[in-house]
């Protein structure tokens, strides 16, 4: 599988609609979290999901199904991310971080050009300040976009429709 992923985008399609590697661009950056109410947990946005999608509002990427392509990656333990093989265009950079409430959006648009024209687009250091009105007093679940910590009882046939 890794070999397959490394070979993308493929070079064999002959359609002019499919851009080759040298006709695509890439974006590199580093994201960190700064929450004024946390004593522990500030620092690199470890394993954050970072993506490029059509310009919009914070979180609008979740509803963009027919607007344009989206290009996503996961940051490493130091918050460094590399989005490769991006079609040329103007995008917003969005992110969400495991264990941190809210969505991040870089305030400037990102213009991606083919690799042949320029090198990797290096963004300045990005800082995600989660939206808060004060200290968290009580929280249901972990903000990780899953329900893994909730108990789901075994399937009882007497409750089936």
Token pair 């590399």 is found at 82
pLDDT in tens, 101-131: 889 999 999 999 887 655 689 999 999 999 8
CA distance 13 to 15: 6
pLDDT for position 149: 79
What's the pLDDT score for residue 41? Answer: 67
pLDDT of residue 119: 64
Question: Residue 31: what pLDDT?
Answer: 97
Closest alpha carbon to 106 in 128, 74, 73? 128
CA 81 – CA 47 distance, rounded (Å): 9
DSSP secondary structure string, the chain?
A: -HHHHHTPSPS----TTS--GGG-EEEEEEEEE--TT-SSS-EE-TT-EEEEESS-STTGGGG-SSS---EEEE--TTSEEEEEEEPSEEEEEEEE-TT--S-EE-SS-EEE--TTTS--EEPPPEEE----SS-----SS-SSS--TTS------GGG--
Residue 25 has pLDDT above 60, yes or no: yes
Q: What is the pLDDT of residues 29-85, one digit of tens each?
A: 999 999 888 776 689 999 999 999 999 898 888 887 776 789 999 999 999 999 998
Q: Which pLDDT band, with edges at 50, 70 and 90, does 8 fall under?
A: confident
Confidence category of residue 139, pLDDT binned at 50, 70, 90: confident
Distance CA 143, CA 81 (A): 21
CB-based contact 68:54 (threshold 8 Å) = yes
Q: What is the pTM of this model?
A: 0.82
């Amino acid at each position: 599988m890794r070999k397959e992923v490394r070979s993308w985008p493929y070079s064999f399609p002959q359609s002019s609609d499919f851009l080759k590697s040298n006709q695509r661009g890439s974006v590199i950056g580093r994201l960190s979290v700064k929450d004024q109410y946390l004593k522990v947990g500030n620092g690199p946005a470890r394993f954050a999901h970072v993506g490029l999608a059509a310009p919009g509002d914070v979180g609008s990427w979740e509803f963009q199904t027919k607007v344009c392509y989206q290009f996503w990656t996961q940051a490493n333990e130091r918050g460094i991310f590399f989005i490769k093989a991006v079609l040329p265009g103007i995008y917003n950079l969005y992110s969400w971080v495991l264990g941190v409430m809210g969505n991040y959006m870089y305030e400037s648009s990102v213009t991606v050009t083919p690799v042949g024209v320029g090198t990797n687009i290096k963004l300045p250091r990005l800082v995600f300040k989660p939206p808060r009105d004060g200290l968290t007093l009580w929280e249901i679940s972990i903000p990780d976009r899953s329900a893994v910590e909730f108990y789901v009882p075994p399937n009882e046939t007497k409750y089936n429709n």
